[in-house]
A and B are shown apart, each in its own frame.
Chain A
């Protein structure tokens, strides 16, 4: 009778434990180092929030939040810090930019996704990247040269003659430095984001849905309107939210064209003073007036928290939208 020893027993196999290799320990050391480095992003977010809260704390405790956010007087020397004009400025400019940008970007994205040929699409991607890559100051320069005079000499006279009875369009500002100028410049700046997101969302809609609508004899436009767009809606809204948060945080371009007058804007031709401009214009004197630094950094904190909320929301929605479409 043959007894055969199992093959595994007859060949000694060196286990990794018996021969620690230099390569394996290098791998482990690299892993530990990389892990340590990966702490940085998380730490950075936390430290940012903490640092801003600490520096803004004096003013957050000195004046109740309600008064801070709704107070309209801004007299740092007298210790009065009402953020309302700046919050209003940011909101006015952002809203104007969105009203202008959203319809145009949607139409453009629909065209790219549903009608345009591959050559047109091929041109658009680099173009949008270019538009997104232009520095903020350059947009500001363009705004100064092209948009402010346009508002001053063309749009304001035209609109106030026809619709001037509405407070929204009353032109009391002789210069073109206005909410509208800021809104126009911002509209171009958020265009790449909104178009890119809307395009991606529409592309992720399965072709079968379009075929189902076309097969009953619908036109392409009817298919878009009744089948594609309703399905894309959450994603499109997320894209708009991302655009809003980009507009909120925009500094240089807006600052150069919006007038920087501390007031509550009543018309799109009024000058305004967004939060970002407030911080950028005055950081030099931050340390010379008591609580000024806390106030300005408090403004930065408000910006941070609002933008954070918007971004997290939009990213979550987009994640779920593109994930569901893939199933």
Chain B
């Protein structure tokens, strides 16, 4: 297994309270890794440490290393916007930017100067197709993104995130706010995309984890309890707490 992301001795504190304790784990390249665990165990914190979104809240202290392709993303010399460009985020609630559907997808490409003119048009179409939204919006690209349904908005956010050509996709409970059909859409997209991207998905839906995961990380109270290939962890967990969680006894 080739590691794309390596987390080493990561400690994260929010206002003095420890959210992640000495977490060391590796995320395999071009596979779909799922982080599971009861609420409050630190799944989202771990996820957001990988694209440096933790820094947004006051009084957060991060120590340790997170390496992507061998380079520590917390190195002060590194441009944080480049880090975030490498790892795209699909949040729980879709947040369309206050602009048209076209502009939402084009946003990332424009600010990084990736594409212009006709290339931009083609790229917008490509990423909307990749997200499975193209057919539904191709006639109204200029209309405001807020007019889409929530399932469509989430796919728009997926297109927007893919448009900056990341290598990694981070999903934070990406289907929790959606109806079952939209959720299924997103799951299908993620399943296809894992051929090209390294995907890390946080979820509290065990069935979803079992459907999608190639690799599993189980967390409990800020620590990584167990991790490994999905078929191993799900059918034969080594740790007692993992077994308890999978059986529904905790969380």
Contact = CB atoms under 8 A, between A and B. Distances in A.
A206, A218, A222, A226 interface centre (most CB from chain B within 10 Å): A218
A90 B85 CA distance: 51
Interface string A201-233: 000001111111111111100100011001100
B111 A212 contact: no
Contacts of B96: 212
Interface string B45-83: 000000101001010000000000000000000000111
A117 interface: yes
Interface in B195-220: none
A222 to B, nearest CB: 5
A113 B50 CA distance: 25
Contacts of B87: 215
Contact of A217 (B56, B58, B81, B95): B81
B108 interface: yes
B98 A212 contact: no
Interface in B86-101: 87-89, 91, 93, 95-99
B53 A217 contact: no
Contacts of A217: 81-85, 108, 111-112, 164
Contacts of B53: 211, 214-215
B161 interface: yes
B160 interface: yes
A216 B56 contact: no
B107 A213 contact: yes
A112 to B, nearest CB: 13
A226 B108 CA distance: 11
A218 B66 CA distance: 21
A218 B89 contact: no
A30 B83 CA distance: 64
A118 interface: yes
A28 B99 CA distance: 55
Where chain A touches its partner, the secondary structure class is helix
Contacts of A209: 95, 97
Contacts of B164: 216-217
A206 B96 CA distance: 12
B84 A214 contact: yes
A231 B83 CA distance: 26
B157 interface: yes
A215 B51 contact: yes
Contacts of B161: 215-216
A230 B104 CA distance: 13
A215 B83 CA distance: 9
Nearest to A218: B111
A222 B89 contact: no
Given A211-B56, A217-B85, A222 B111 contact: yes
A226 B157 CA distance: 15
A230 B95 CA distance: 14
A213 B97 contact: yes
A231 B91 CA distance: 19
B174 to A, nearest CB: 12
Contacts of A218: 81, 84, 107-108, 111
Given A214-B84, A216-B108, A227 B98 contact: yes
Nearest to A121: B58
A279 to B, nearest CB: 43
A207 B95 CA distance: 10
A230 B89 contact: no
Contacts of A227: 97-98
Contacts of A208: 91, 93, 95
A219 B81 contact: yes
A215 B56 contact: no
Nearest to A232: B98
Contacts of B85: 216-217
A216 B58 contact: no
A4 B84 CA distance: 74
Interface string A75-97: 00000000000000000000000
A230 B88 CA distance: 23
Nearest to B83: A217
Contacts of A213: 97, 107
26 contacts: A118-B58, A206-B95, A207-B56, A208-B93, A208-B95, A209-B97, A211-B91, A212-B89, A212-B91, A212-B95, A212-B96, A212-B157, A213-B97, A214-B53, A214-B84, A215-B87, A215-B91, A216-B84, A216-B161, A217-B84, A217-B111, A217-B164, A218-B111, A219-B111, A227-B97, A230-B98
Interface of B: 51, 53, 56, 58, 81-85, 87-89, 91, 93, 95-99, 107-108, 111-112, 157, 160-161, 163-164
Closest 4 CB pairs of A and B: A217-B85, A215-B89, A216-B108, A212-B95
Given A213-B97, A216-B163, 12 more contacts: A211-B53, A211-B89, A212-B89, A212-B97, A214-B53, A215-B51, A217-B82, A217-B83, A218-B107, A219-B111, A226-B97, A226-B98
